Structure 1
Amino acid sequence: MEHVTYEVADRVATVTLNRPEARNGYTVRMSDELAAAFDEADRDRAVRVVVLTGAGKDFCVGADLSAGGLDLPGANEEWDEPAGRCSMRVFTMNKPVIAAIRGAAVGAGSTIILPADYRLASTDARFGFVFSRRGLYPEGASTWFLPRLVGLGRALDWMVSGRVFDAAEALAAGMVHALHEPDQVLDRAYELARDLIRNTAPVSVAVIRKMLYRMSPLESPFPVQRLDSRLIAGAVDSPDAAEGILSFLQRRDPQWTGEVPDDLPPYLPW
């Protein structure tokens, strides 16, 4: 990898945009390397949580037009735009993803973080869906993700105007979960990752994150409740369910044995 680094320690995979000299300007190569890194994290049974961050003082300033742009192919129904190569891979993850963001996060820097389970930002972070100001269109399926996070009204404001907004506005709208000082954002992300690893069952987390995205848009709650019933009935034979209850009663940390993706229920509708 040239534009991304990938490291695993203490069951956390760290995926880092690594072009600090270009303020992590987004490239086609970076998009493909990000997808490959998330593929590796999802396959690796030793990885429980992924942290996505950027090297240097900025997360990502958007497409690096000086590095060949987006390599647009013209009319081509089979082509996947670069931001979506990352965002859709994050969406399909079985493991939680924490985005640790500092400095500028505009264009692709704003779109690729939307499918993450958590977005922690620095107090100096700046966001922007600036496409209307470039004569372009939103990417990374952001018109699907963003309204689900902040509501349609705020998504319309940010995307139609294309204006850049600060971390406080992003927090107030629900786009980010918490703000920290710039030199503390990554530490707080690892702290959250350790909490998830210690206290949550990997199979449960994988199913829950998929259910929230894939089941909540349905027109009726009835098929969701049917899946709930099947999952809960199956918990009778789940070692993790027994361990979760026993560790709670014994007031100790749980020792999970279920693995992702091996132990995911085979009947899940997705």
Structure 2
Amino acid sequence: MCQSHQIAGQARSYRLLSPLYWRRNPVSQSPLVIERQSAVLRLRFNRPEVLNALDVQLAQCLREVFREIAVDPDVRVVVLSGSGRAFMAGGDLNALRADPVGAATRLIEPMHEAIRLISELPQPVIASVQGVAAGAGLSLLLAADLVVAAEEARFNFAYTDIGTCCDGGASWSLPRAVGLRQALSIALLGEGFSAAEALQMGMLTRVVPQAALDEAVSDMARRLASREPHALAHLKRLMRGASQHSLAEQLEAEHAAFVDCARRPEFVAAIDGFYARRSARVQGVAK
């Protein structure tokens, strides 16, 4: 069962997160810890003893929570992170070894729905990466909209190390992030790489010192939460869908999205705020 912990604001009552369970089970026993900080929802993988390896329970928690987030207008930003020394070091190998086909199906089905939901969420999703991100962990961070990693973070495709191909949409997202040639190199050779290399390849948004990771992610989340959510939802949908459209189709989609934003009162309010800030800057220079 997943565990929720409200930090600030009024948290939505997620279906999986019953108050009775909260009273009976400590946060430390939950595979996924949910923390609400105003409009930012933090999802933290909580299996540090196995470097947050993805098991069926964690995959199911992610699927159910993302279903709820998709219809929660009070959530404006989602942050993914891992407890302890890793973001996520792949899947649960013990379960896969004991029942290869059955465990793979039970694990992949909820994980794949979670990945699809991330791409379709109106809210931006940030991955905060420390330590190792391998296998399923790499697939999850590739599904996120923005990825901030610590300088010490390490990455590995890892699937070929256990004699399989990939899951979690990696064959779709990795070539789009780094290009086909680089994606094939990462996947076929299975060589690990650093945060600096991942940034250079286009896999990451930003790399920061380990000590600055939490603050960098929090700052980014606050900035996103302050933006007009409908505009961000349209931007996410337009960017993610662009490769499936012709230029003419994309121009039409942009037109419709812009008009939808313009008809909202927040649009004029944002323009007024822009002029007010510019006027204040000009007056400051004049003084």
Question: Which residue is equivalent to 2:263?
Answer: 237
Count of equivalent residues: 249
Question: Which residue is equivalent to 1:211?
Answer: 238
Question: Which residue is equivalent to 1:21?
Answer: 49
CA distance in 2, matches of 1:227, 1:11: 28
SS at match of 1:175: coil
**Counterpart AA for 2:212:** Q
Question: Which residue is equivalent to 2:170?
Answer: 142
Question: Which residue is equivalent to 1:265?
Answer: none
SS at match of 1:114: helix
1:145 Cα deviation from its structure 2 partner = 0.8
In structure 2, relative to structure 1, the CA distance for the partners of 1:171 and 1:79 (3 Å cut) is: closer
CA deviation map 1:37-67 (0-9, x unaligned): 2223332222110110001111111112124
In structure 2, relative to structure 1, the CA distance for the partners of 1:28 and 1:160 (3 Å cut) is: same
In structure 2, relative to structure 1, the CA distance for the partners of 1:242 and 1:183 (3 Å cut) is: same
Q: Does 1:115 align with 2:146?
A: no
**Counterpart AA for 2:85:** K
Question: Which residue is equivalent to 1:54?
Answer: 82
CA deviation map 1:154-176 (0-9, x unaligned): 11110111221111110110101
SS at match of 2:182: helix
TM-score by length of 1: 0.85
CA distance in 2, matches of 1:191, 1:71: 42
Structure 2 residues not aligned, in runs of 5+: 3-29, 279-287
**Counterpart AA for 2:167:** E
| Overall identity of the aligned pairs, in % | 31
In structure 2, relative to structure 1, the CA distance for the partners of 1:71 and 1:208 (3 Å cut) is: farther
CA distance in 2, matches of 1:188, 1:58: 18
For the 8 Å contact 2:96–2:104, the answer to whether it is kept is no
Runs of 4+ in 1 over 4 A off after TM superposition: 67-71
For the 8 Å contact 2:108–2:168, the answer to whether it is kept is no
Report which of the two structures shows the higher radius of gyration computed on alpha carbons: 2
Structure ranking higher in helix proportion: 2
1:138 Cα deviation from its structure 2 partner = 1.1
**Counterpart AA for 1:73:** G
For the 8 Å contact 2:128–2:213, the answer to whether it is kept is yes
1:98 Cα deviation from its structure 2 partner = 0.5
Question: Which residue is equivalent to 2:10?
Answer: none
Question: Which residue is equivalent to 1:174?
Answer: 202
Higher relative contact order (CA 8 A, sep 6+): 1
